[in-house]
Amino acid sequence: QVQLVESGGGLVQAGGSLRLSCALSGRTFRNYNMGWFRQAPGKEREFVAAISWSGSSTKYADSVKGRFTISRDNAKNTVYLQMNSLKPEDTAVYYCAADQPLMGMGLRVVDASYDYWGQGTQVTVSS
């Protein structure tokens, strides 16, 4: 049974930082590219960041570039999202997801491309 479990969400003031973690079990972690998405109230889920299975390649949404950093530790089966300089508009439920890469395909930003999802963790940024 595949499980993705996020942790690290919470309430933070604008300008603060949080680090989200997501642990995968039930599959071989290094076989998957990993992504973070978020969904704010009344909005569609949107791409935040992705990292390749080896960690050598990353991709970010323009809205978080320079503030968020995605990383992974394959020995711990865990992907991270370091979020700095948080803004109220970053408030959302954050989801991690696993994507089994296809030959010739790069990091994907469409949520329908991902195979497995976590339950989400709430991030609230107060002004």
Pair 109, 36: CB distance under 8 Å: no
Q: Model confidence over 3-50: pLDDT tens digits?
A: 999 999 999 999 999 999 999 999 999 999 999 999 999 999 999 999
What pLDDT does residue 103 have? 74
What pLDDT does residue 57 have? 96
Residue 94 corresponds to which tokens in the numbers above? 């954050």
Distance, in Å, from the CA atom of 126 to the CA atom of 60, rounded to the nearest integer, reads 23
Neighbours of 49 (CB within 10 A): 26
What is the pairing mode between strands 121-126 and 10-13?
A: parallel
What pLDDT does residue 107 have? 95
Q: Model confidence over 69-110: pLDDT tens digits?
A: 999 999 999 999 999 999 999 999 999 999 998 777 789 999
